[in-house]
């Protein structure tokens, strides 16, 4: 089946999960390859079966190389321990329980859950066009779109689970989107996340060698007071290419200098610590 046909079939079955980001009215259906709202706004499926809801310029936070690196290291399994820890929270999903991945990046995390047999429609979105194109290239297990939570194309109270893995939050919006009894699962780095890499890059800045997520956890608790917290910590063995991908993927976000990155390339790490907390809140 062509990717655009697959995308069309998904929309025909699931258009009620979306709302028009221009006028906030409901979508009434799919014509040809366009999703159409009550007031006549249309959004066309791209060849790869993905959709661009975001109108105007999207600010590109990630460049393509960095996304490719993230894809490769995700395929190598760096994040699998995190995803496996999330699995028990998703196994109760029924055929109609929608899963939304906020800031899905290059798509591998949502594809993982689809491959594990988690039921229900799966939608991944990101503000980065490059990320969504990569996701649509590699994975057919989910529906991908470019969107911005500030101009949300998602309908109210339709989502059983919202995943928010290493990406910014908009709690008001999450609460609007969650179905009654739905859950928000947020993953944030913990103190020793990629600790060996931090030490390598910030050898003379000890204040940058560790990280505190306290502010993020407190904020989550304000919005979801009955939250549960799960710590996930493991060590991942790095092959040489994995190390270079890791180096390509992370330091830019941390603001490391080019010199520090060049220096780090000469001292490849053999293993890396993954240390995160899962914050789980129910509506």
Q: Which residues sit at the interface with Zn ion, rule CB under 5 A?
A: 20, 22-23, 37, 39, 41
The answer to the question of whether 193 is labelled as a binding residue is yes
The answer to the question of whether 15 is labelled as a binding residue is no
Cα 117 to chain centroid, rounded = 18
Using the minimum distance from each CB to Zn ion, give the nearer residue, 28 or 227: 28
Using the minimum distance from each CB to Zn ion, give the nearer residue, 53 or 113: 53
Using the minimum distance from each CB to Zn ion, give the nearer residue, 32 or 204: 32
Please state the closest distance from residue 21 (CB atom) to Zn ion, in A: 8
The answer to the question of whether 104 is labelled as a binding residue is no
Using the minimum distance from each CB to Zn ion, give the nearer residue, 53 or 236: 53
- List the structure tokens of 271: 């293993």
Name every residue whose Cβ is closer than 8 Å to that of residue 223 and which is 6 or more positions away in sequence.
171, 174, 175, 281
Query: Can you tell me the distance from the alpha carbon of 202 to that of 265, in angstroms, rounded to the nearest whole number?
Result: 14
Give me the count of residues in the chain. 283
The answer to the question of whether 41 is labelled as a binding residue is yes
Using the minimum distance from each CB to Zn ion, give the nearer residue, 17 or 246: 17
The answer to the question of whether 145 is labelled as a binding residue is no
Please state the closest distance from residue 101 (CB atom) to Zn ion, in A: 24
Please state the closest distance from residue 265 (CB atom) to Zn ion, in A: 49
The answer to the question of whether 53 is labelled as a binding residue is no
Please state the closest distance from residue 99 (CB atom) to Zn ion, in A: 25
Residue nearest Zn ion by beta-carbon distance: 20
Please state the closest distance from residue 18 (CB atom) to Zn ion, in A: 11
Please state the closest distance from residue 76 (CB atom) to Zn ion, in A: 42
Using the minimum distance from each CB to Zn ion, give the nearer residue, 23 or 229: 23
The conformational region for residue 106 under phi > 0 = left, psi -120 to 50 = alpha, else beta, is alpha
**Which residue numbers belong to the known binding site for S-adenosyl-L-methionine?**
79, 106-107, 193
**Which residue numbers belong to the known binding site?**
20, 23, 37, 41, 79, 106-107, 193
**Which residue numbers belong to the known binding site for Zn(2+)?**
20, 23, 37, 41
């Amino acid at each position: 089946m062509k990717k655009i046909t697959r995308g069309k079939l998904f929309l025909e079955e699931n258009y009620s999960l979306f709302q028009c980001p221009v006028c906030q009215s409901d979508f009434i259906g799919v014509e040809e390859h366009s999703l159409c709202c009550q007031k006549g706004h249309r959004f066309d499926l791209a060849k790869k079966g993905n959709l661009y809801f975001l109108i105007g310029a999207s600010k590109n936070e990630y460049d393509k190389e960095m996304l490719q690196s993230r894809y490769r290291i995700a395929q190598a399994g760096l994040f699998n321990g995190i995803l496996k820890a999330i699995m028990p929270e998703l196994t109760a999903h029924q055929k109609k329980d929608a899963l939304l991945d906020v800031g899905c990046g290059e798509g591998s995390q949502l594809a993982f859950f689809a491959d594990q047999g988690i039921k229900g429609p799966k939608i991944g979105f990101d503000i980065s066009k490059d990320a969504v194109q990569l996701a649509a290239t590699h994975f057919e297990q989910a529906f991908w779109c470019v969107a911005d939570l500030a101009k949300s194309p998602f309908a109210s109270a339709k989502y059983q689970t919202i995943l928010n893995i290493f990406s910014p939050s908009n709690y008001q919006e999450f609460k609007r989107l969650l179905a009654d009894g739905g859950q928000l699962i947020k993953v944030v780095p913990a103190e020793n996340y990629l600790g060996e890499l931090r030490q390598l890059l910030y050898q003379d800045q000890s204040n940058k060698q560790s990280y505190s997520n306290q502010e993020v956890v407190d904020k989550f608790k304000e919005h979801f007071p009955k939250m549960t917290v799960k710590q996930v910590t493991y060590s991942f063995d790095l092959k040489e290419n994995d190390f270079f991908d890791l180096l390509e993927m992370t330091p830019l976000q941390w603001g490391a200098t080019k010199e520090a990155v060049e220096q780090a390339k000469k001292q490849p790490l053999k293993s890396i610590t993954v240390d995160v907390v899962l914050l789980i809140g129910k509506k």
